Amino acid sequence: MKMLINVPETVVADALRGMAAAHPELAVDVENRVIVRRDAPVAGKVGLVSGGGSGHEPLHGGFVGPGMLSAACPGEVFTSPVPDQMVRAAAAVDSGAGVLFVVKNYTGDVLNFDMAAELAEDEGVQVAKVLVNDDVAVTDSLYTAGRRGTGATLFVEKIAGAAAEEGQPLERVEAVARQVNENSRSFGVALSAVTTPAKGSPTFDLPSGELELGIGIHGEPGRERRPMMTSGEIAEAAVDAILQDLTPRNPVLVLVNGMGATPLLELYGFNAEVQRVLGERGVPVARVLVGNYVTSLDMAGASVTLCQIDEELLRLWDAPVNTPGLRWGV
């Protein structure tokens, strides 16, 4: 497998060096692996810190900036960052108003952020945590680690980020983040497996005539393998899986997210089908975002995330944001 890298060991550090060069508005600490908005800590503002394995770009580092995250901690590829990174990030962005950790529900992320929260509180930083777990493909959460955090992470980071930017207190920013998560659901499909730099070959074998339904974002196989479907059939499977779990009475935000290797031509076509299905199911749509936002290295495929919103959440969604990966209103 050909990759545009030097050696697998330096993939994350090399990307951070390149990110630093491309985005002087961010302070990128390559050695300690923390990306911080350069004007942090902002007086009176709650700090928003997220992080997770690398390989999901622009998540999370690409969402650091005014209106969204204060700092991000990238781990190794598909591996949670370590507590040291999160403690450093929390200290860098805390203005005394406290810090919210946005954590995706994976055992590694949860354990490392839990340890970091304890350590940061020892250092006098007030920390709150919100767990993102939007993936409806995981059904029997009673006997597993629970639903995965996937596309809704973007909604949580954007909307809670806007609340923090307005100067809302920590309890309020945390409550907004929880509200977004509780009203969000995702479903993903894979048309190909991923190749991690360390392994150098696809993590599982997916024949050309088949697809995986109900995947996460770490190159793991899904719940079910089926013969290849059309874009319209996939849209129906994804939207119906979500609507089995969420019955929106209010309008929804829609994220049609590429996994990394699916071109925008296909994603826009897929979005057309998602919009058709939502129309047929009577779900009103407030805003639509299409693109590669929560990716899985070189995986081909897409996910759909819906978030039921009220007027306040929509206002926060529309608020200005200025980051490498998401920018509007500025």
Partner 1 sequence: MLDAEFFRRWMTVTAASVDREAERLTALDSPIGDADHGTNLQRGFTAVRAALEKEPPATPGAVLTLSGRLLISSVGGASGPLYGTLLRRTGKALGAATEVSREQLAEALRTGVDAVRQLGGAAPGDKTMIDALVPAADALGDSFAAARAAAEEGAVATTPLRARKGRASYLGERSIGHQDPGATSSALLIAGLADASGPTGAAEAADE
Please give the positions annotated as active site: 56, 218
Instruction: Tell me phi and psi for residue 109, to 5 degrees.
Output: -60, -45
Residues 300, 258: Cα–Cα separation, whole Å: 8
Residues 68, 62: Cα–Cα separation, whole Å: 10
Residues 325, 320: Cα–Cα separation, whole Å: 13
Q: How far is the CB of 173 from partner 1 (least distance, A)?
A: 26
Q: How far is the CB of 213 from partner 1 (least distance, A)?
A: 12
Task: Say whether residue 91 binds partner 1 (CB under 8 A).
Answer: no
Task: Say whether residue 101 binds partner 1 (CB under 8 A).
Answer: no
Task: Say whether residue 128 binds partner 1 (CB under 8 A).
Answer: no
Candidate ranges 192-200, 233-241, 300-308, 313-321; the one touching partner 1 (CB under 8 A): 192-200
Binders in 41-60 for partner 1, by CB under 8 A: 53
CA angle, residues 16, 64, 111, in degrees to nearest 5: 80
Task: Say whether residue 178 binds partner 1 (CB under 8 A).
Answer: no
Beta-bridge mates of residue 100: 48, 128
**Which of 23/148 has CB closer to partner 1?**
148
Task: Say whether residue 203 binds partner 1 (CB under 8 A).
Answer: yes
Residues 241, 253: Cα–Cα separation, whole Å: 17
Q: How far is the CB of 19 from partner 1 (least distance, A)?
A: 19
Binders in 59-88 for partner 1, by CB under 8 A: 75-84
**Which of 177/297 has CB closer to partner 1?**
297
Of these, 3, 5, 22, 198, which contacts partner 1 (CB under 8 A)?
198
Q: How far is the CB of 77 from partner 1 (least distance, A)?
A: 7
User: Would you tell me the crossing angle of helices 107-122 and 83-93 to the nearest 10 degrees?
Assistant: 50
Q: Over 291-330, what HEC string results?
A: ECCCCCCCECEEEEEEEECCHHHHHHHHCCEECCCCEECC
Binding mask 265-304 for partner 1 (x = CB under 8 A): ----------------------------------------
Task: Say whether residue 30 binds partner 1 (CB under 8 A).
Answer: no
Which tokens belong to 34? 């923390």
Q: How far is the CB of 45 from partner 1 (least distance, A)?
A: 28
15 Cβ contact list (under 8 Å, min separation 6): 54, 57
Q: Do the strands 47-54 and 71-77 form a parallel or antiparallel pair, or are they unpaired?
A: parallel
Enumerate binding residues for partner 1 (CB under 8 A).
53, 75-84, 106-108, 111-112, 115, 137-138, 140, 143-145, 148, 196, 198-199, 203-204, 216, 218-221, 223
